[in-house]
Amino acid sequence: MAGQKKQFLALLLVVVIGAAAFFGLRAWQKSKDEAREAEKEAETITAASLTTDQITAFSYRLDGEELSFEKMDGVWHYSGDADISINQTMIDTMLQSLSKVTAARQIPKPENTDEYGFADPSNVIRVQVGQEEITFTLGMYNTVTSQYYLMVSGDENVYLVEGQITTAFGKTLEEVTEKTEE
């Protein structure tokens, strides 16, 4: 009986040590992951940050045509024809791409922005936030990095960004029109 008691206590001790080691390693891994995430966040370059619910109007270019939208009484309307029913969710998704624009790289105050495609931009997005207009100018596509050059009004830097903005603001009027069942 005394031998069984010693075996039981030894087994219990092994289980307690194993559990402590498991939880200790888990806590260590979690802190390591959090540190890695904080380091990654610190490396992130923010080109622009907007509160999208404060946007009252915006426009963008698509195939040489400028599409303009304005918010009236909490509802988005096409500026060219207020009778066109606009898909509100799609507009919100488009604007969400501007809520936090992060860049892979920042080119500080380049002397000649034309070499990044800003003389003939691929898109110009204008956003009205209160009394302030913010302009996002997309330059050329960099085939090496698969990213676009971006400038934001009030900032002399050029940023290399992923294509989310280009994709979001590449929608035709037909694509943002509310589809009605017939």
User: What mean pLDDT do residues 116-123 have?
Assistant: 93
Q: Are residues 12 and 36 in the same domain?
A: yes
CB-based contacts of 150, cutoff 8 Å, min separation 6 = 47, 101, 103, 136, 137, 138, 139, 158, 159, 160, 161, 165
Domain that holds residue 58: 45-176
Q: Are residues 55 and 19 in the same domain?
A: no
Q: Are residues 69 and 25 in the same domain?
A: no
Give the integer Cα–Cα distance in Å for 168 and 95. Answer: 8
pLDDT tens column, 78-107:
998 888 999 999 999 999 999 999 999 999
Q: 102, 44 in Cβ contact below 8 A?
A: yes
Q: Kindly report which listed range (9-23, 35-49, 143-157) carries the lowest average pLDDT score.
A: 35-49
- pTM over 0.85? The answer is no
